[in-house]
């Protein structure tokens, strides 16, 4: 396609369009305000942010590349092209430019998400040299028809065994509680099957800023289970409802490996789902799981989840 230009000047003028593309193409709940806040928060690690425009200034697509805070030689790439302008060279132009910037910045590994039912996107990524790293399955649950009396019996049994079910709001959402939540979240997520021991944050301060300081963070929706005998935090399930979304999103459910096999994951997730239904007013809950995370997939199957949109994380080694 002729007369395409790549622009990074006044990129914020395109944030409203970019947010719509994140929702329509990537099935991610982002608003213009969300992107503005992420841009301000992550500006020091954003390596590349450009829009492809036609001569009239219409945005045809964009690339957003962010350096990993945990692994400086790794970066995350979003590349989205408007559906009506695909197979015209827009994506190739955007990617080649972004790849050049990444190489110059010392990036050795690029990772990019692609919806698992977007065959064109998968074919394009593979043509650009990407290969599958892992598959995240999308799951959906009808909250109006999932609850069972047996869940109350399970929770009561665990309480009788000395487990305390609470949430961050009830704990005062103090810095001390946030630090303990960080340790549990980071530990349980790194122990999850398919996670390869990877961590999501490089410090408590990073977690506090990106999680506890986020507008989607609802202390009452951060459910935790505490072992009253030791005081250890054993399990958690975090849920929210993104602004403008008609569904709740279960961000993470995890159990410290020392406490697995007691059905704590099922119990704490049930409480999170009830909160989404009764307090957040959601009629549906969604989540994503690594396809290798068989224990959590088994829990979701028991609860009645069905498959929805998932995504692949694809990886390219730049050398």
Residues 131 and 166 in one domain: no
Residues 128 and 182 in one domain: no
Would you tell me how many other CB atoms lie within 10 Å of the CB of residue 55? 9
Give the chain's domain count: 2
- Cα dist. 129→106, 173, 197, 268 in Å? 18, 45, 25, 41
pLDDT of residue 102: 97
Residues 132 and 89 in one domain: yes
Residues 115 and 207 in one domain: no
* Residue 314 within a domain: no
Residues 287 and 184 in one domain: yes
* Residue 319 within a domain: no
Say how many Å lie between the first and final Cα of the chain, rounded. Answer: 30
Residues 151 and 295 in one domain: yes
Residues 103 and 217 in one domain: no
pLDDT of residue 84: 87
* Residue 209 within a domain: yes
pLDDT of residue 179: 98
* Residue 207 within a domain: yes
* Residue 186 within a domain: yes
Residue 113 · residue 134 · CB < 8 Å: no
- Spell out the residues 6+ positions from residue 71 whose beta carbon is closer than 8 angstroms to its own: 109
Domain edge (last residue) among 81, 110, 137: 137
pLDDT of residue 95: 97
Domain edge (last residue) among 137, 171, 186: 137
Could you tell me the residue range of the domain that residue 55 belongs to? 5-137
pLDDT of residue 303: 96
Radius of gyration of the chain from its Cα atoms, rounded to whole angstroms: 21
- Maximum pairwise Cα distance, the chain: 70
* Residue 263 within a domain: yes
Q: Which residues pair with 51 in a beta bridge?
A: 7, 62
60-84 burial, b at 16+ Cβ within 10 Å, e below that, comes to: bbbbbbbbebeeeebbbbbbbbbee
Residue 286 · residue 248 · CB < 8 Å: yes
Q: What's CA 86's distance to the chain center, in Å?
A: 26
Residues 85 and 196 in one domain: no
pLDDT of residue 191: 86
Residues 121 and 173 in one domain: no
What pairing do the DSSP bridges indicate for beta strands 74-81 and 109-115?
parallel
Low-confidence ranges of the chain (pLDDT < 70): 1-2, 23-30, 194-197
CATH number at residue 117: 3.40.630.30
Residues 211 and 99 in one domain: no
* Residue 317 within a domain: no
Token look-up 């959601």 returns 282
How far, in Å, CA of 270 to CA of 53, rounded?
A: 47
* Residue 202 within a domain: yes
Residues 123 and 52 in one domain: yes
Domain edge (last residue) among 93, 117, 137: 137
pLDDT of residue 140: 97
Q: Note the pTM of the prediction, 2 decimals.
A: 0.85
| Phi, psi (deg, nearest 5) at residue 123 | -65, -40
Residues 48 and 181 in one domain: no
């Amino acid at each position: 396609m002729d007369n395409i230009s790549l622009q990074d000047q006044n990129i914020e003028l395109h944030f409203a369009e970019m947010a719509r593309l994140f929702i329509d193409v990537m099935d991610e709940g982002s608003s213009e305000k969300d992107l503005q806040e992420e841009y301000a928060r992550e500006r020091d690690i954003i390596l590349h942010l450009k829009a492809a425009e036609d001569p009239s200034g219409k945005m045809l697509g964009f690339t957003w590349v962010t350096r990993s805070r945990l692994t400086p030689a790794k970066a995350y790439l979003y590349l989205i092209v408007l559906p009506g302008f695909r197979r015209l060279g827009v994506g190739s132009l955007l990617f080649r430019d972004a790849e050049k910037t990444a190489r110059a910045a010392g990036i050795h590994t690029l990772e990019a998400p692609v919806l698992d039912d977007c065959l064109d996107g998968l074919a394009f990524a593979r043509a650009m040299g990407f290969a599958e790293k892992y598959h995240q399955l999308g799951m959906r649950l009808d909250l109006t028809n999932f609850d069972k009396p047996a869940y109350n019996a399970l929770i009561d049994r665990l309480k009788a065994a000395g487990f305390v079910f609470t949430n961050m709001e009830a704990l005062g959402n103090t810095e001390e509680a946030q630090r303990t939540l960080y340790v549990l979240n980071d530990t349980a997520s790194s122990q999850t099957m398919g996670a390869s021991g990877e961590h999501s944050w490089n410090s408590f301060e990073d977690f506090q800023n990106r999680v506890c300081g986020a507008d989607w963070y609802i202390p009452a929706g951060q459910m935790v289970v505490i072992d009253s005998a030791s005081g250890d935090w054993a399990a958690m399930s975090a849920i929210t409802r993104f602004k403008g979304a008609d569904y709740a999103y279960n961000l993470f459910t995890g159990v410290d490996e020392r406490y697995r096999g007691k059905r704590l994951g099922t119990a704490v997730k049930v409480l999170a789902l009830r909160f989404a239904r009764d307090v957040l007013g959601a009629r549906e809950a969604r989540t994503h799981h690594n396809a290798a995370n068989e224990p959590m997939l088994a829990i979701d199957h028991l609860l009645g989840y069905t498959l929805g949109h998932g995504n692949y994380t694809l990886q390219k080694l730049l050398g």
